A = this chain, B = another copy of it.
Amino acid sequence: MYKPIDSSMSPRFVGPRSFMRLEHIRTTENVDFAVIGVPFDTAASNRTGQRYGPQHIRDFSVLLRPYNYDQDINIFDYCSGVDYGDINVIPGNALRTYDNIVDGLTPVLENDITPVMMGGDHSISLGHLRAFAKRYGPVALVHFDSHSDTWDAYYGEKYMHGTPFRRAVEEGLIDVEHSIQVGMRGPLYGPEDIEDARDLGFEVIPMKDVFKLGHDEVVKRIHDRVGNKKAFVSFDIDFLDPAYAPGTGTPEVGGPTSHEALEFVRSLDGLDLVGFDLVEVLPTYDSGEITAVAASSVMFEMITLIALKKRRELERK
């Protein structure tokens, strides 16, 4: 049973910076969730430096405590978790990196451990989805982001951080009929940036519609769309307004507050969630660790969802 060091007995700033002060160990035994870094940033089209994202999140995450007051659950009453370390990425080579991601995730998924991945630029989600599809077949995607990331290519390059979900559809990794994207906004190349995602089969709720529909209706649509399919949650930190997450590659104003964003994550409880990623944290544009606070908190809510699912499973027995 792995759980965080007790910070009321040992100061938070003591010792290795692992996620949430969990043990830094690469094991698949007695583990329910594994936090895994993917420090890859070759595929970023604008700002770069997402390679330092996982460590930046870990540095702040030592502040996290085990009990979630909003969801009324102590994670470690139901789960054992570890900081599994980072995937050995290959700077400059997305395809070899995807291979390493799949190789790294395979034993985790085969042991029914729920991975919580930390990027890294968004191109890594293609690697994640390859691993998940290998294990589960196509999965439903719940995607929070200010961009659809369904472009075809940049400068003739196919594996960039704005293309993973088009590639994933092409490769048959996503159960697109049960997939949904939320939060798209900002200047676009054209209306086709949204329409193309819809043409690929996604339901898309741009931020403009989020404001109109309201939280509850958006949540309802997500649940209706995903149903009881196995689902993967991909959360780009630029879903948040830049005031709440400046440290990212392509910030777009007019996004939700951290409170609103966390409420969306909490509302996913009840879905059959099999994995998560949190991407595009870029420390060199963070300030005062504002972004690290937000990212850590989103991941805390993701892990809580794992615990809630465990509790439901236990209660069902």
Where the two chains meet, the residues of A that have a C-beta atom closer than 8 Å to any C-beta of B are 7-18, 24, 37, 39, 41-46, 48-49, 51-52, 55, 59, 62-70, 72, 74, 83, 85-94, 96, 151, 153-157, 159-160, 184-191, 193-194, 206, 208, 211, 241-244, 246-247, 250-255, 257-259, 262, 284-291, 293-294, 297, 300
**Interface of chain A, helix or strand or loop or mixed?**
loop
Task: Give Cα A153 to B6, complex, Å.
Answer: 13
Write 6 A-B pairs (CB below 8 A) sorted by A numbering: A16-B24, A17-B17, A42-B92, A65-B188, A243-B290, A251-B289
Given known A-B contacts A51-B13, A65-B189, A287 and B288 have beta carbons under 8 A apart: yes
Residues of B within 8 A of A253 (CB): 244, 258-259, 262, 293-294, 297
Contact of A46 (CB < 8 Å), options: B12, B48, B85: B12
Contact of A68 (CB < 8 Å), options: B154, B187, B289: B187
Task: Give Cα A253 to B156, complex, Å.
Answer: 40
Contact assessment for A187 and B288 in the assembled complex, using a CB-CB cutoff below 8 Å: no
Contact of A86 (CB < 8 Å), options: B15, B72, B241, B285: B15
Contact assessment for A11 and B24 in the assembled complex, using a CB-CB cutoff below 8 Å: no
Residues of B within 8 A of A194 (CB): 69
Contact assessment for A85 and B155 in the assembled complex, using a CB-CB cutoff below 8 Å: no
Tally of this chain's copies: 6
Given known A-B contacts A253-B293, A288-B287, A188 and B45 have beta carbons under 8 A apart: no
Contact assessment for A290 and B242 in the assembled complex, using a CB-CB cutoff below 8 Å: yes
Residues of B within 8 A of A85 (CB): 15-16
Contact assessment for A156 and B90 in the assembled complex, using a CB-CB cutoff below 8 Å: yes
Contact of A92 (CB < 8 Å), options: B74, B94, B211: B94
Contact assessment for A160 and B92 in the assembled complex, using a CB-CB cutoff below 8 Å: yes
Question: Smallest CB–CB gap between A17 and chain B, Å?
Answer: 6
Question: Smallest CB–CB gap between A311 and chain B, Å?
Answer: 15
Kindly report which residue of chain B lies nearest to residue A263, judged by CB atoms.
B254
Residues of B within 8 A of A153 (CB): 8
Kindly report which residue of chain B lies nearest to residue A9, judged by CB atoms.
B155
Contact assessment for B14 and A89 in the assembled complex, using a CB-CB cutoff below 8 Å: yes
Residues of B within 8 A of A16 (CB): 16-18, 24, 83, 85
Contact assessment for A42 and B42 in the assembled complex, using a CB-CB cutoff below 8 Å: yes
Given known A-B contacts A13-B51, A69-B188, A92-B160, A257 and B284 have beta carbons under 8 A apart: no
Given known A-B contacts A51-B48, A287-B290, A67 and B189 have beta carbons under 8 A apart: yes
